[in-house]
Structures are given as structure tokens and as C-alpha cells.
Structure 1
Amino acid sequence: MTLPTAPPAQDFTGRTVVVTGAGSGIGRATALAFAERGARVLVADLNAESAAEVTARIQETGRTAVAVVGDLSDQTVVDRLVATALAADGPDGTSGTIDVLVNNAGIMDSMSAVADVTDAEWERLLRINLTAPFLLTRAVLPHMLDAGRGAVVFTASEAALRGSAAGAAYTAAKHGIVGLTKSLAVTYRHRGIRSNAVAPGGTITNIRLDIDPEAAGPQALGAYMGNVGQPAEAETQAAAIVFLASDAARNINGAVLPVDGGWSAV
């Protein structure tokens, strides 16, 4: 008697994956990792040149990729992304499904303490880091529910696990991402939808930091920065995201996975 051969747990052949912030850093590494595993990838980014470069690189390997450029806190951009993803999935341009959504796009704050955060910084951080993932998830969810399956992975942060890893606006936004992750998991767990998050620690990316080292925030947080440890490569975070989206994690739902070299354990 021979046992049936199980398909690889991280094979995404025939599946459509949306990755936001896919033009650089963790998003870029994630888009490439899904493409390597056979997925059709929608590369979403605010930077047209970066999105085009990643899309071209995927296409050069013989895989399918399409780019959508725009600000995902704008509902019209969200609607265009979803329509593009569904068209890219179906044969001959007919409507298909969105199997995986990776809400990765985000920006850093200036490490400002609560008393120093301006209205503009607060609103920008919440809009990009929390409202935009909410809008896109809300738009994708009906299509996943119609299909009876789907995986959503959010990029949270070490700052989502404590109050000493970033400024007030970024920390609040990432705590919000954890709440959104868990709410989604609880509400739709019996309808085939899984929702999880990674919480990266220090990671080598090109994300821009604009920090005044003499400000109250950096002065207060500096004492904790010695626990960061060795920064991870973007590919390390991508591997965790792919795992959480894969069938290998089919019974993992509502989890926040620290990928921080043990920083959160200190």
C-alpha cells in the first residue's frame, strides 16, 4: 500500500495574492517569494517605478504579475486594485478570486512622544498604517467569503507588542492592526477566512526614518534599543508571511507572530 502524495504545503500555483507596499523592503521580498511558489501576484505600491520593477522581475521568471499604483487610503484606488486582481485571476479576463491579501504597506513616524505628535503626523500615520489596510480588507473580504476561503496577513510590528519600540502614532496604529487582525479572525473563522499578523523587529529595509535624537520620544526609547539585536533581512519576514498564508498554517488564526530574534521575549 502506498500513501497518497500530498501537495507541497506552500505551493500557491493557481492562487492570486495581493501584496501592498510591494515595491520595496518586506513587501518586495514577499511578492517575489509568492511568485517563486507559483502565485499570481498583484504588486501594489505608491511608487510607480518600484512597482514596475518588481512586476517585471516576476514576469521575467514566467510567472504572472500586475501592478497597481496609488494611495490605498483612497477608496477609488482600493476599488481599482480589487477589480484588477479579480480580472487577473479569471481566464480570459473573467472574474476570479483573491486567495491571499498581505496588508504590508506602511510608514514610520518620527518617534514623537504623545505631547509632541502633531495633528498632521497622527492623521497621516493612522491613515496609511491602519485605515488603508482596513479599507482594502473590507473590499476584499466579500470575494473571499463568496469563495469560502481566504488568508489575510498583516504586517504589524514589535511596536504592536509594547509601548517602547516606536513613537506614539506608529505604536497606536500597529496596536490597531493587531486588533483588526484578531477581530477578523474571530468573526469569520467559521467561514473559511484566516487572519494573522507578523510583528517584525529590526529589519533591513529602505523605510525612511526622520528622527530628532534630542526629542522626548527618542530620549525615552533609547534605553530600550539595545534589546533590538541583529536586524533581519526582508526575506526573513517574507518567509513568515508566506507561511502564515499557506496551507501549512491552516489551523493558525488570530495569531501575531514575532519575527524579531527574541526582542519581544526580553
Structure 2
Amino acid sequence: MTAELKQVSPAELVDLNGRVVCISGAASGIGRAQAELFLAAGASVVALDIDEEGLRRLNESLPTFGERLLCETVDLTVADQVAHAVASGKRAFGSIDTLCNTAGYLDGYSRSLDTSESVWDRVFEINVKGMYRLTNAVLPDMLERRSGVVVNMASIAAFQAGGGGAAYTSSKHAVVGFTRQLAYDYGRSGIRVNAVCPGMIETAMTREVLADPDSKLVKTLKRVPAGRLGRPDDIARVALFLCGPGADFIHGASIIVDGGLMVK
């Protein structure tokens, strides 16, 4: 049985008018770029981050969108805080129909023997379990409406070594697996789930490493066909498309956005 295909005009491909998007890691970097772009596309945004000051700066920088922006300070490793933030978003906007799991934690490119258990646990608590917590907090309402979109932030580290250390690389492999399983389990219930896999992106998380001219990351930059680092906006634009009606037939995909770094 074939579902009726809805015709979408070019202008509608990334139109998020009336949508409510929850974004973790929204205080800076890719998450902030997503918040700004999605608001401009007509969505209401529930911006989550552990960085309270960063959220305050985000809120103050977007006075035009005040009624469509809710900032909630939340630690993704604390289940009660995640539940409270989602409940606040639902009270403010009625529902959450789109989720961008963008928050992440880098391990300093440490090899396994140089990675303590506490660092390993911290990486997985944020990059994987935090994503699981937040996704499970919004899924029930999506399933009840039989409609929803989830975009998980993975990395090229999910496909090759060197994009992070042992813990980070392992966690991003897990994110891709989680994305595929979610798509498999809930696609027929109206939920679309995909992942974006950034390459070398200039954010606060990578700036310290990029400042070292002898770092492996800086040397790798010379191999990027695009000839530059990625910017948060480069990733936000892809996430915007995945959240919009133009991506209706994309399920369980991991979209690599790396300036061509992995073509060789």
C-alpha cells in the first residue's frame, strides 16, 4: 500500500512555520546556529544547554523571536532535569514535534590507555545516554500524533578513526547505530530519524586543538577539498533540510558534511 505523496513547493522544502523544535547544546556552536536558523525558518525553539550564561546570551541576541524562544538550563546526565525541560517546552508551545540532539562532549583526542574511566563515562553519558534520555522524553507525544522528526548529531568519527579519541569515536559510532534503530523501530509510526555527521567544524569544542599548528587536526585540514574548516551554519543548514518536508523520504540516513574530507 502506497501512501499519498504530498506535493511540496520549493519554498516549502525548509519551511518550519508552526513547528516546535527542541535543540540540545543550543548555547553555542552548531546548536546555536540551529536555533538561530530554525527561528528564522518560522519554528518555535526550546533551547537546552548546561551553559546558563550562554543561553542568556542567545536569548538576548534574538529579541525579535522572544515569543518563539524558550531557553532551559539542563544537564543531560540528570533524568529529572531532562523531563522538566521537555515539560516546560510543552507548556510553552503545546508540543515538541522536532528534536535536534546536538549536545556533545569531546575527549581531547585521547588514546584508550590515556582515557580514564571517568572521561569515558562522561563522553558516553552526554553523547549517547543524554541523547537517549532526551529522545525518550519527546517520543511518546510524537507517537501519539504519529508525526515527528529527530536529527542526531554524529560525526565523521562514526566512520573513521582520528576524528576524536577512543571514547568520542566509540560514542559517535553508537549515535549512528541508535539513529538507525530508531528509524527502524518508529518509521512506520510517522517518526523520521536521521543523523548529521560533521567533519572539521570550528566550534568552542575544537578551537583549542585547531590553535596548535602542529596538531593532527590542523594537518588534516590541508587535505579538505573545500579548502576550509566547516562552520556551524554549514551543519545547521543540513539539519534544517532534514527537519523540513523536503526530506520526507529520508529515514535512518547519516549525512556526511565534511567539505569532502572523506572522499579519499
Show the counterpart of 1:133: 131
1:24 is aligned with what amino acid? S
Post-superposition offset of 1:208:
5.3
TM-superposition CA deviations, 1:170-228 (whole Å, max 9, x none) = 000111000010000011110000000110011111115677xxxxxx78x89866535
Structure 2 unaligned residues grouped into runs of 5+: 1-6, 210-214
From the superposition, tell whether residues 124 and 62 of structure 1 become closer, same or farther in structure 2 (CA, over 3 Å).
closer
- The equivalent position to 1:15 in structure 2, one of 12, 19, 22, is 19
Q: Indicate yes or no: 2:56 matched with 1:56.
A: no
Show the counterpart of 2:4: none
Show the counterpart of 1:151: 149
Show the counterpart of 1:178: 176
Within 1, Cα distance between the matches of 2:48 and 2:32?
10
Cα contact 1:103–1:133 (8 A) shared by 2? yes
TM-superposition CA deviations, 1:218-266 (whole Å, max 9, x none) = 78x8986653552111111100011111111010010000010111222
Within 2, Cα distance between the matches of 1:251 and 1:5?
12
Show the counterpart of 2:73: 69
Show the counterpart of 1:197: 195
The SS at the match of 1:227 is: coil
RMSD, aligned α-carbons: 2.2
Within 2, Cα distance between the matches of 1:222 and 1:247?
37
1:106 is aligned with what amino acid? G
Cα contact 2:27–2:54 (8 A) shared by 1? yes
Within 2, Cα distance between the matches of 1:80 and 1:59?
24
Show the counterpart of 1:123: 121
Within 2, Cα distance between the matches of 1:227 and 1:160?
19
The SS at the match of 1:239 is: helix
- The equivalent position to 2:98 in structure 1, one of 83, 100, 104, is 100
Show the counterpart of 2:223: 227
Structure 1 unaligned residues grouped into runs of 5+: 90-95, 212-217
- The equivalent position to 2:34 in structure 1, one of 30, 42, 55, is 30
From the superposition, tell whether residues 208 and 232 of structure 1 become closer, same or farther in structure 2 (CA, over 3 Å).
closer
From the superposition, tell whether residues 8 and 63 of structure 1 become closer, same or farther in structure 2 (CA, over 3 Å).
farther
The SS at the match of 1:203 is: coil
TM-superposition CA deviations, 1:114-173 (whole Å, max 9, x none) = 222111110111111111001100111001101110000011011011123210000001
The SS at the match of 2:76 is: coil
| Identical amino acids, percent of aligned pairs | 36
From the superposition, tell whether residues 26 and 70 of structure 1 become closer, same or farther in structure 2 (CA, over 3 Å).
same
Within 2, Cα distance between the matches of 1:5 and 1:104?
27
Cα contact 1:97–1:147 (8 A) shared by 2? no
Cα contact 1:203–1:231 (8 A) shared by 2? yes
Show the counterpart of 1:214: none
2:75 is aligned with what amino acid? D
Within 1, Cα distance between the matches of 2:223 and 2:148?
36
Q: Give aligned pairs, total.
A: 251
Show the counterpart of 1:45: 49
The SS at the match of 2:204 is: coil
2:48 is aligned with what amino acid? A
1:182 is aligned with what amino acid? R
Within 1, Cα distance between the matches of 2:59 and 2:68?
8
Q: Indicate yes or no: 2:81 matched with 1:85.
A: no
Cα contact 2:109–2:162 (8 A) shared by 1? no
Q: Find runs of 4+ consecutive structure 1 residues off by over 6 angstroms.
A: none
If the length of structure 2 is used for normalisation, what is the TM-score?
0.88
Show the counterpart of 2:212: none
Within 2, Cα distance between the matches of 1:72 and 1:263?
31
